[in-house]
Structure 1
Amino acid sequence: MPASLQDMFRPPVQCDMCRQVTHVERVHSVTSQLFEERYAYTGRPVVITDGQRNWSAPHVFSFEFFKSIYADDSPVLENFERDCQFFPYQTEFRNLRHVFNMTADRVNMRGEPWYIGWSNCDSSAANILRDHYERPYFLPQAAESSKTDWIFMGTPGYGAHMHIDHVGNPSWQAQIRGRKLWTLEPPPECYFQCIPMEVVVEPGEIIVLDTNIWYHKTLIVSEELSITIGSEYD
């Protein structure tokens, strides 16, 4: 079903999730119990400032790293093109193969800006990625993360347009490199009870958000390449 029709038939939400929320809280060293009680399933967005504890991803993830995983002749790329999703946003890229064949100048921000995203549903690629990040420490003990990784990458001045997702569960997104401005808007039924909010997510931080109920857009505000990775949890 097209996204516009999905939005039209989206079930209304209870505005308790945003009625008294005036800003996106930033917390650290949060226990899984407190996270579950206050944020996990309430719809209240939060940034965990120490969310990437003991991850090597900030030192490893790069355009070239992902290009090596999704090499032209790799079964990973073949599996991706058959089974996974690609989001070109406002670029001319047709697929991930097209992205990883862009010029070095454009990769290094000396050409037209770009922003893309994709889902990784290949198990061998997932194993490589998860060598460098782990299940966020603050998730409830009974929560299970999706087997699908979502990766977003791009250059300054670009990001995702305002939209709402239809993925079923809340999600977390880790800012590996760069800085990203998130703009959140409540759903239409809550316009007169809740307010829009903005928050900048810094490298090393994780934003947790139910993107099925908050309309959201992003903008890369750093002077370097932005890389994020995330997943849903139940």
Structure 2
Amino acid sequence: MNFNFKNCFIELPSFSKSAFRPPEDCSMCLGVDDVVRLANITAEEFEDKYAYSTTPVIVTDATEGWRALKEFDFNFFANFYSEKKMGKQINDCFYFAYKSGLKSLQEVFNMDEARANLSGQPWYVG
């Protein structure tokens, strides 16, 4: 069976996507008064002590050495999601505008350079 439908039978407004989510169970956070801050922890130590504990943790040096910090920028994603490469698919991607005024990913990646570099009106993609 192929369940890849290209068109929806009934289009719902984008704001409705979060309206039909089940309620969140926040009981795991009862009694949490502090957040553990860690550095220099191995993946094995993290998994053994924290990964499945529901204890909130901030690993302060977790991104050191990540190539993504040097390579991922606005131009990287604009090229990756370009209409030339993705065609109509770019319009089918889930996009949350959050008060940006940008109605689609296509509008995001066509914004002017000043705004793209965060010196214009703020924007967010989610």
Q: How many Å separate the matches in 1 of 2:106 and 2:17?
A: 25
- Name the CA shift for 1:62/1:11 in 2 (closer, same or farther; >3 Å): closer
Letter aligned with residue 82 of structure 2: A
On the 8 A contact 1:89/1:116 being kept in 2, the answer is yes
Q: Please name the residue that 2:3 is paired with.
A: none
User: Is 1:4 aligned with 2:13?
Assistant: no
Q: Please name the residue that 2:97 is paired with.
A: 88
- What is the TM-score with the length of structure 1 in the denominator? 0.41
- Name the CA shift for 1:2/1:65 in 2 (closer, same or farther; >3 Å): closer
Deviation at 1:5, TM superposition (A): 4.0
Deviation at 1:96, TM superposition (A): 0.8
User: Is 1:112 aligned with 2:121?
Assistant: yes
- What is the TM-score with the length of structure 2 in the denominator? 0.69
On the 8 A contact 1:38/1:44 being kept in 2, the answer is no
Q: Which one scores higher on RCO, CA 8 angstroms, separation ≥ 6? A: 1
- Name the CA shift for 1:53/1:110 in 2 (closer, same or farther; >3 Å): closer
Please state which structure has a larger fraction of its residues in strand.
1
Q: How many Å separate the matches in 1 of 2:73 and 2:89?
A: 21
Deviation at 1:27, TM superposition (A): 0.7
Letter aligned with residue 70 of structure 1: Y
Letter aligned with residue 50 of structure 1: D
Deviation at 1:74, TM superposition (A): 1.2
Q: How many Å separate the matches in 2 of 1:12 and 1:69?
A: 36
| Structure 1: gaps (5+ residues) | 118-234
Give the secondary-structure state (helix, strand or coil) at the position aligned to 1:22. coil
User: Is 1:79 aligned with 2:79?
Assistant: no
- Name the CA shift for 1:86/1:21 in 2 (closer, same or farther; >3 Å): same
- Name the CA shift for 1:85/1:3 in 2 (closer, same or farther; >3 Å): same
Task: List aligned pairs for 1:1-234, cutoff 5 A.
Answer: 2-6=17-21, 9-10=22-23, 12-13=25-26, 15=27, 17-75=28-86, 78-82=88-92, 84-117=93-126
Task: Map Cα deviations across residues 192-226 of structure 1 (whole Å, 9 max, x no partner).
Answer: xxxxxxxxxxxxxxxxxxxxxxxxxxxxxxxxxxx
Q: How many Å separate the matches in 1 of 2:82 and 2:73?
A: 14
- Name the CA shift for 1:60/1:33 in 2 (closer, same or farther; >3 Å): closer
Q: Percent identity?
A: 33
Q: How many Å separate the matches in 1 of 2:33 and 2:25?
A: 21
Number of aligned residues: 111
- Name the CA shift for 1:66/1:2 in 2 (closer, same or farther; >3 Å): closer
Task: Map Cα deviations across residues 77-103 of structure 1 (whole Å, 9 max, x no partner).
Answer: 543433x31111112111111101111
Over aligned residues, Cα RMSD in angstroms? 2.5
Deviation at 1:38, TM superposition (A): 3.9
On the 8 A contact 2:98/2:125 being kept in 1, the answer is yes
Please state which structure has a larger fraction of its residues in helix.
2
